[in-house]
Structure 1
């Protein structure tokens, strides 16, 4: 908008007159509504930029699960894209005839014992790394981190010889020990980071009140580590549940197979029976899905807590 000025006879500028061709000023309420509208349009654009790739990724991820469920619950001889009528014959076949009930129990035993052993040892070691300053601590942490770059396949022969001398071959304890050892370095580093985020003053206050170091840790630090411990424990269990290599190499009796090993032999035992193979996949995937559904909020909170510092 331009302003027109007129001068009087004395040469003084008179009051400015508005340009008739300029648009009239918008009232404040209209400007606010326009700003809100622009902000909503920007938010809608950002939502599409986020949800569109996430939706495509989710679709790409869920299609294999859908086909697995389709073959697992669809009767043989049908070709529909919906599992109807539903049948549990494939699940019943793999659970009883093939032996997935035994495989499932073995995997639960390996996963639970490995989870508790890994969490307990990592908690004790992580506390020492977080609260004590000793010579070689950083070197030790670096060594623990570097072990994550070593493939487990390189350690199969040495581990087999060790377990053979200890008479642990063809025993679930060989798989439990191997899983615990290979998961311990990362779990120790994560828990060490979680403990560093807990102020030392809380423990010192407990010591002043007469608590020992162990009791001070149990009362002040351990309750605050719950999200981190849940994250570490869940990763330890899921890794032990899904790991295939150690169970394949150290176990020879079919009664001691875990779910991944039993699933690999389903192809040979069932031939081209895709329904049995898909039902075995459902048995293998269901516990992992349930665990993530139950602990996902603790998992995100625990990982974010350990990533703040340390």
Structure 2
């Protein structure tokens, strides 16, 4: 009797395996390739501010490269002698009013552009963008005639209106882009719970717009704080001058008081530096979110 030996099934060929991937070689960058360019850029940026500070705090007639001994004589001259206290208060009023008006109008207009679909919406957005190509100097005569008709010449309100008009187009675009990134379903849920459209916007949407509002408001304040042309053309009384126009008083016909000019520059720069130091964490987020099309 013959025995049958069972045969083993043929082994399946092993599938072809791809060769192991080679690890990506990280690009090694020396720290000198990072810190040297950054250091040169920082040096190029900060040297003018250093010289301004040196001229502001060193005694008159001194030629020292270091601000020592420190003297506040130049600050006393510009603050009390040239009336920089009044100029500072005027700039603060104009900047605060321009910040509030620009933010409120941009918020209302941006919500309409983001949530409603109406005829001419695209044309309106294009028109807003086109206004950014018009230099402010070209609008001085038309604005002056408008303010003269409204009896606003030599008034701080003329500066507030002019600053709001020129800051509004960019602010509208930023705020509308930021509102598009807020899901409309959140508002609809608030409406279902009984909120009106206004209350739903104030409770749900507005808290999420903080970075965009900070970006818009800070740029409106800083632009109105630094603007020289409007304050020079629309205001003629010294009691209503702002800081940029007040700095012109340190420039004489035949001489320049560099110490007073530098001290005035320090006074003008401190609020701007403080604003950026406080809101800098919101600026990048607000600008990037407002620039994205939803």
TM over 0.5, shorter chain: yes
Task: Please say if residues 118 and 184 of structure 1, whose CA atoms lie closer than 8 Å, have aligned partners that are also in contact.
Answer: yes
Question: Which consecutive segments of 4 or more residues in structure 1 shift more than 4 A?
Answer: none
Q: Deviations over 1:226-266 (max 9, x none)?
A: 01100000000000000111000001011110000111222
Distance in 1 (CA, whole Å) between partners of 2:107 and 2:194 is 23
Structure 1: gaps (5+ residues): 1-34
Q: Would you say 1:228 and 2:212 are equivalent positions?
A: yes
Greater RCO between the two (CA within 8 Å, min separation 6)? 2
Distance in 2 (CA, whole Å) between partners of 1:189 and 1:53 is 35
- Superposed counterparts of 1:267-306, under 5 Å: 267-268=251-252, 271-306=255-290
Distance in 1 (CA, whole Å) between partners of 2:100 and 2:272 is 17
Match of 1:77 among 43, 54, 61: 61
Distance in 1 (CA, whole Å) between partners of 2:33 and 2:108 is 45
Distance in 1 (CA, whole Å) between partners of 2:255 and 2:279 is 37
The aligned residue for residue 66 of structure 1 is 50
* CA 159–151 in structure 1, closer or farther in 2 if over 3 Å, else same: same
> Structure 1 residue 76: deviation in Å?
1.1
Task: Please say if residues 250 and 256 of structure 2, whose CA atoms lie closer than 8 Å, have aligned partners that are also in contact.
Answer: no
> Structure 1 residue 268: deviation in Å?
2.2
How many residues were matched structurally? 272
Distance in 1 (CA, whole Å) between partners of 2:38 and 2:169 is 33
* CA 269–107 in structure 1, closer or farther in 2 if over 3 Å, else same: farther
Task: Please say if residues 82 and 249 of structure 2, whose CA atoms lie closer than 8 Å, have aligned partners that are also in contact.
Answer: no
The aligned residue for residue 8 of structure 1 is none
Task: Please say if residues 270 and 276 of structure 1, whose CA atoms lie closer than 8 Å, have aligned partners that are also in contact.
Answer: no
Task: Please say if residues 228 and 301 of structure 1, whose CA atoms lie closer than 8 Å, have aligned partners that are also in contact.
Answer: yes
- Superposed counterparts of 1:11-50, under 5 Å: 39=26, 42-45=27-30, 47-50=31-34
Distance in 1 (CA, whole Å) between partners of 2:70 and 2:191 is 62
Q: Deviations over 1:183-225 (max 9, x none)?
A: 1111011000000000000000000111000010011110000
> Structure 1 residue 149: deviation in Å?
0.4
Distance in 1 (CA, whole Å) between partners of 2:117 and 2:33 is 47
Match of 2:113 among 115, 118, 129: 129
The aligned residue for residue 10 of structure 2 is none
Match of 2:91 among 107, 125, 128: 107
Distance in 1 (CA, whole Å) between partners of 2:192 and 2:115 is 17
> Structure 1 residue 269: deviation in Å?
8.1
Q: Would you say 1:183 and 2:192 are equivalent positions?
A: no
Structure 2: gaps (5+ residues): 1-22
Q: Would you say 1:159 and 2:143 are equivalent positions?
A: yes
